[in-house]
Amino acid sequence: THSYSNVDASIDNGSGIEAYEVQYITPREKFWVCVSDSLDVKEVMVTALKPVVEHTFRVRALNGEGWSAWSALSQPMKLQRRH
């Protein structure tokens, strides 16, 4: 289990957070993969990740002002193969 938190939810421009969008990319993919763009929770379990492949994540928030900029990228995370 890995944890990544790099969105400052306290900066909301006076409008509450309505949703979060989480995406990841691997070295093999050309485009970001959307995990969800309608999360209303601060934690998410990402399934179907490829073992022994690095995954880099980013997140952004939606409020009454629109979507925020993307967060800084996470450190690459690699799942271990189950034995």
pLDDT score recorded for residue 8: 54
Of the chain, the percentage scoring pLDDT greater than 70 comes to 80
Q: What would the pLDDT profile of 42-71 be if each residue is shown by its tens digit?
A: 778 888 888 889 999 999 998 988 999 999
11 has pLDDT over 60: no
The strand pairing partners of 60, in sequence order, are 21
The whole-model pTM stands at 0.77
- The closest alpha carbon to 5, from 52, 41, 37, 53, belongs to 41
- The closest alpha carbon to 71, from 3, 5, 2, belongs to 5
DSSP label of 52:
T
pLDDT score recorded for residue 31: 96
Q: Is 20 exposed, middle or buried (0-12, 13-18, 19+ CB in 10 A)?
A: buried
How many CA atoms are closer than 13 Å to the CA of 5, on its beta-carbon side?
Answer: 6
